[in-house]
């Protein structure tokens, strides 16, 4: 499981999956999220601006990402 350390209070979903390399561009992130391929804490998420906080877990394409403060 990948970990992403927050520098601020939160990070947006599209930024997070791009930051850890799950996708290579913002456009790719937008498409994957809009197509329902990304889940946050087990729920499908279609808003790329969804704010992620400490403890949230993002899943995409068999990969997991945990947000840590």
Query: What is the pTM for the complete model shown?
Result: 0.91
For tokens 């391929």, the residue is 37
For the stretch 11-22, pLDDT in tens is 999 999 999 999
For the stretch 10-50, pLDDT in tens is 999 999 999 999 999 999 999 999 999 999 999 999 999 99
Q: Which of 68, 44, 52, 42 is nearest to 17 (CA)?
A: 52
pLDDT at 56: 98
Domains of the chain (ranges; CATH) run 2-68 (3.10.290.10)
Give dist(CA 6, CA 23) in Å, integer. Answer: 19
């Amino acid at each position: 499981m990948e970990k992403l350390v927050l520098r601020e209070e939160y990070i947006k979903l599209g930024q997070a999956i791009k930051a850890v390399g799950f996708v290579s561009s913002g456009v790719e992130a937008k498409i994957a999220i809009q197509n329902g391929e990304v889940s946050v804490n087990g729920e499908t998420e279609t808003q790329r601006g969804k704010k992620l906080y400490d403890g949230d877990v993002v899943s995409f394409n068999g990969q997991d990402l945990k947000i840590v403060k």
